[in-house]
Amino acid sequence: MSRAEPARAPGARPFALLGSELATLFRRRRTIAMLGALALVPILIAIAVRVTSAGSSGRGPAFLSDITQNGLFVGFTALTVSIPLFLPLTIGVVAGDTIAGEASLGTLRYLLVAPAGRLRLLGVKYLGAAVFAIAASAVIVVVGIGIGALLFPIGPVTLLSGDTIGAGDFALRALLMIGYVSMSLLGFAAIGTFISTLTTVPVGAMAATVVLAAASQIMDALPQLSAVHPWLFTHDWFAFGDLLRNPISWDSYAQNAVLQLGYIVVFGSLAIGRFTTTDVLS
Amino acid sequence: MTTDAAIETSGLTKIFGRQRAVDDLDLTVPRGSVFGFLGPNGSGKTTTIRMLLGLAGASSGEIRMLGAPMPGALRSVLPRVGALVEGPAIYPFLSGRANLLRLDAADLHAPSATRRARVDAALDRVGLSHAAQKKAHAYSLGMKQRLGIANALLRPRDLLILDEPSNGLDPQGTREVRSLIRSLAAEGTTVFVSSHLLSEIEQLCSHVAVMSAGRLVAHGTLEELRRGEVRVTVRTPDAANAARVLTELNLPLDEPASGDTAGSGDSVSAVLVDGVLPETVTAALVAAGVRVRGLSVAGETLEERFVALTGEGFDVAG
């Protein structure tokens, strides 16, 4: 009787929507501009250090003084500089836009009528934000290593523990660093996605998300609030130094993973509860 | 009856705060019909459509679509339903073609292998092939509307729900949409179309429902809805004579326009009472020597009926 089969059609790919989401996200000029801006961070740092040669004063962000000895440290310096503001800002834009952006365009109703499935759409949207977080961290580190190699001498890297590692081991540490920083941002992305389900004004969701990242960092800086510090999603954002010791200490990695997972579960559940029951009237 | 309906609602109600946007709606859309869904702005049409499509939950009442309960069977029903809801929505930074590819990818049941071919066919069907690669933000209102209709046609559908399909279209576009709906209906697709363009509905639809302030005020075939008084109008220089003939046939004469006495103008009209055929009137007029310039028989227009049902006022129901 029906010409369109209700069961899953042969040839239907369940991950087609994720592919479409990623293609849409990364072809968008706004996304490219944000990644470009993040790429500028290591470039500016490298140029500034090269021009002034003031890297050895012992002040400034972590690894800054190491750059003149080994250009490979530019990526790590840039990551340290970007964590408090630039990374949360760009990820807040992407995560805050997930649902609210579709709602404001009106495309949300067409995705749901397709039917995308509310749970599936939410999952795909969150995964898109997570992939952006990985891409953002990777761009900073990779561009940093590239520009560092271009402007400074490179060689075996001396770790915080005093050991020296070669190129292969360094590449592994760089990957672990990208993994750590992007994982640190997953809980934050879940918060942003939840806020995005609350409104049809994407700018509002973006701003609220970014403000939360700032508020969490401020709270983390107040000693009077030390009781809540371990529970703040920003608390372990800078604890990646352990990855530059030999042997690698996995404690902070594991602790942060549990913390982020907790945020993903809580805010993911809130987002699911909200998005699967709310009326789509935009 | 139940299995034959493409859409069936019973007691469907949606309450926003204290307002009953849709109030106890019992709607039956027969399969294969072209169903016109009418009502003034704010009468609850779009809210009803949103509930049908599972975008909004009903406060109470039930919906069956294509024989399955909604929104329970949403995942199996919606792939068979094409929809244009409250105007088209586009990703302005994507081309028209990329817009459709994305919305088709959202359908879990849409085969990927035929995606490009189906998108191109849908674009072709609404006459957008030449602009397919253009970024959608450069589209005119009518082109966006066509893109929205193309989205509804990405797969063969059993039911199309089209909210104001002719909105923003030029006269050619309106005609194209009309013939598109006709050809889809001829293929067996049930078409549920809401519109303010009553002449469009009158030309297209087999069935009509009229909403007013959240309630259904009329529901049935177009003929049933239009069946009101049929009147006969005679254009003649012998108006007084004609009026006498019509009175003799027991046809109630219309009140003449102000200032005229009955039969002093050059036309006379009367209600064509059941059982009196137009040819009987013609024969009687000719037999009485009335010089007939023209004789027309017309039912009530849908617009007259619509206004009678929903009121004259310009106020949006709040």
Per-residue pLDDT tens digits for B170-208: 888 888 889 999 999 999 999 999 987 788 888 899 999
C-beta atoms of B111 and A117 within 8 A = no
Average pLDDT over residues A222-234: 93
- Three-class SS of chain A: CCCCCCCCCCCCCCCHHHHHHHHHHHHCHHHHHHHHHHHHHHHHHHHHHHHHCCHHHCCCCCCHHHCCCCHHHHHHHHHHHHCCCHHHHHHHHHHHHHHHHHHHHCHHHHHHHCCCCHHHHHHHHHHHHHHHHHHHHHHHHHHHHHHHHHHCCCCCEECCCCCEECHHHHHHHHHHHHHHHHHHCHHHHHHHHHHHCCCCCHHHHHHHHHHHHHHHHHHHHCHHHCCCHHHCCCCCCCCCHHHHCCCCCCHHHHHHHHHHHHHHHHHHHHHHHHHCCCCCCC
* B74 and B218 together in one domain: yes
Residue B2 — very low, low, confident or very high, per pLDDT cuts 50/70/90? Answer: very low
Q: Which CATH number is B79's domain given?
A: 3.40.50.300
Taking the domains of chain A in order of start, what are their residue ranges?
17-275
Residue A105 Cα, gap to closest chain B Cα (Å): 6
- Mean pLDDT (chain B) is 87
Residue A55 has pLDDT above 70, yes or no: no
**Predicted local distance difference test score (pLDDT) of residue B274:** 76
C-beta atoms of A115 and B54 within 8 A = yes
Query: Does residue B94 form part of some domain?
Result: yes
Q: Which of B55, B66, B94 sits opposite A280 (nearest CB)?
A: B55
Query: Does residue B195 form part of some domain?
Result: yes
Give the separation between CA B77 and CA B67, rounded to whole angstroms: 9
* B254 and B210 together in one domain: no
Largest Cα span, chain A: 79
A280–chain B Cβ distance below 8 A for any pair: yes
Residue A4 has pLDDT above 50, yes or no: no
For residue A58, CA distances in Å to A54, A63, A67, B78 come to 9, 9, 11, 64
What does DSSP say about strands B34-38 and B190-194: parallel, antiparallel, or unpaired? parallel
* B202 and B272 together in one domain: no
Residue B313: Cβ-neighbour burial (10 angstroms; 0-12, 13-18, 19+): exposed
* B199 and B82 together in one domain: yes
Please give the residue range of the domain that contains residue B122.
5-226
* B71 and B168 together in one domain: yes
C-beta atoms of B80 and A19 within 8 A = no
**Predicted local distance difference test score (pLDDT) of residue B313:** 63
Q: Which of B165, B176, B221, B166 is nearest to B34 (CA)?
A: B221
- Closest-CA residue of chain A to B74: A115
Q: Which of A4, A8, A27 sits opposite B155 (nearest CB)?
A: A4
Give the neighbor-by-neighbor strand order of the sheet with B68-70: B19-30, B5-16, B60-65, B68-70
Domain count, chain B: 2
The answer to whether the beta carbons of residues B43 and B310 sit under 8 Å apart is yes
Residue A279 has pLDDT above 60, yes or no: yes
* B96 and B214 together in one domain: yes
Residue B312 — very low, low, confident or very high, per pLDDT cuts 50/70/90? Answer: low
Residue-wise pLDDT tens digits, B239-248:
888 888 888 8
C-beta atoms of A111 and B53 within 8 A = no
Tokens of A202: 């994407």
More confident site: A108 or B171? A108
A15–chain B Cβ distance below 8 A for any pair: no
Average pLDDT over residues B48-61: 95
Residue B257 has pLDDT above 80, yes or no: no
Give the separation between CA B166 and CA B142, rounded to whole angstroms: 9
Average pLDDT over residues A88-102: 97
**Predicted local distance difference test score (pLDDT) of residue A201:** 96
C-beta atoms of A115 and B108 within 8 A = yes
Residue B86 Cα, gap to closest chain A Cα (Å): 9
Query: Does residue B316 form part of some domain?
Result: no
Residue-wise pLDDT tens digits, A15-47:
899 999 999 999 999 999 999 999 999 999 999
A33–chain B Cβ distance below 8 A for any pair: no
**Predicted local distance difference test score (pLDDT) of residue B1:** 43
A114–chain B Cβ distance below 8 A for any pair: yes
**Predicted local distance difference test score (pLDDT) of residue B311:** 77
* B12 and B87 together in one domain: yes
Choose the final residue of a domain: B226, B253, B272.
Answer: B226
**Percent of all residues in chain B with a pLDDT value above 90, rounded to a whole number:** 51
* B121 and B74 together in one domain: yes
Residue B316 — very low, low, confident or very high, per pLDDT cuts 50/70/90? Answer: low
* B50 and B117 together in one domain: yes
Residue-wise pLDDT tens digits, A154-183:
888 888 788 888 888 889 999 999 999 999
Average pLDDT over residues A48-75: 76
Residue A3 has pLDDT above 60, yes or no: no
**Lowest-pLDDT range, A216-225, B129-138, B289-298?**
B289-298
The answer to whether the beta carbons of residues A262 and A187 sit under 8 Å apart is yes
Q: Which of A7, A8, A113 sits opposite B78 (nearest CB)?
A: A113
Query: Does residue B314 form part of some domain?
Result: no
Choose the final residue of a domain: B164, B192, B226.
Answer: B226
**Lowest-pLDDT range, A148-162, A167-181, B32-46, B73-87?**
A148-162
Query: Does residue B317 form part of some domain?
Result: no
Q: Which of B42, B45, B46, B51 is nearest to B19 (CA)?
A: B42
- Put simply, the chain A residues between 121 and 140 with a CB less than 8 A from any chain B CB are 121
C-beta atoms of B104 and A114 within 8 A = yes
Q: Which of B55, B74, B114 sits opposite A109 (nearest CB)?
A: B55
Average pLDDT over residues B83-107: 94
Count of A-B CB contacts under 8 Å: 130
Q: Which CATH number is B258's domain given?
A: 3.30.70
**Predicted local distance difference test score (pLDDT) of residue B53:** 95
C-beta atoms of B104 and A113 within 8 A = no
Residues of chain B neighbouring A117 (CB-CB closer than 8 A): 75, 108
Query: Does residue B184 form part of some domain?
Result: yes
C-beta atoms of B75 and A115 within 8 A = yes
- Closest-CA residue of chain A to B47: A281
Query: Does residue B175 form part of some domain?
Result: yes
Query: Does residue B304 form part of some domain?
Result: no
* B259 and B287 together in one domain: yes
Choose the final residue of a domain: B194, B226, B258.
Answer: B226
**Predicted local distance difference test score (pLDDT) of residue A56:** 54
Tokens of A43: 């470039």
C-beta atoms of B55 and A19 within 8 A = no
C-beta atoms of B158 and A121 within 8 A = no
C-beta atoms of A281 and B56 within 8 A = yes
C-beta atoms of A14 and B108 within 8 A = yes
* B132 and B271 together in one domain: no
Residues of chain A neighbouring B113 (CB-CB closer than 8 A): 11
**Predicted local distance difference test score (pLDDT) of residue A1:** 40
**Predicted local distance difference test score (pLDDT) of residue A2:** 41
Residue A128 has pLDDT above 60, yes or no: yes
- Closest-CA residue of chain A to B187: A3
C-beta atoms of A17 and B106 within 8 A = yes
Residue-wise pLDDT tens digits, B102-136:
999 999 888 889 999 999 999 999 999 999 999 99
Residue-wise pLDDT tens digits, B55-73:
999 999 999 999 999 989 9
Give the separation between CA A87 and CA A192, rounded to whole angstroms: 13
- Mean pLDDT (chain A) is 90
C-beta atoms of A16 and B57 within 8 A = no
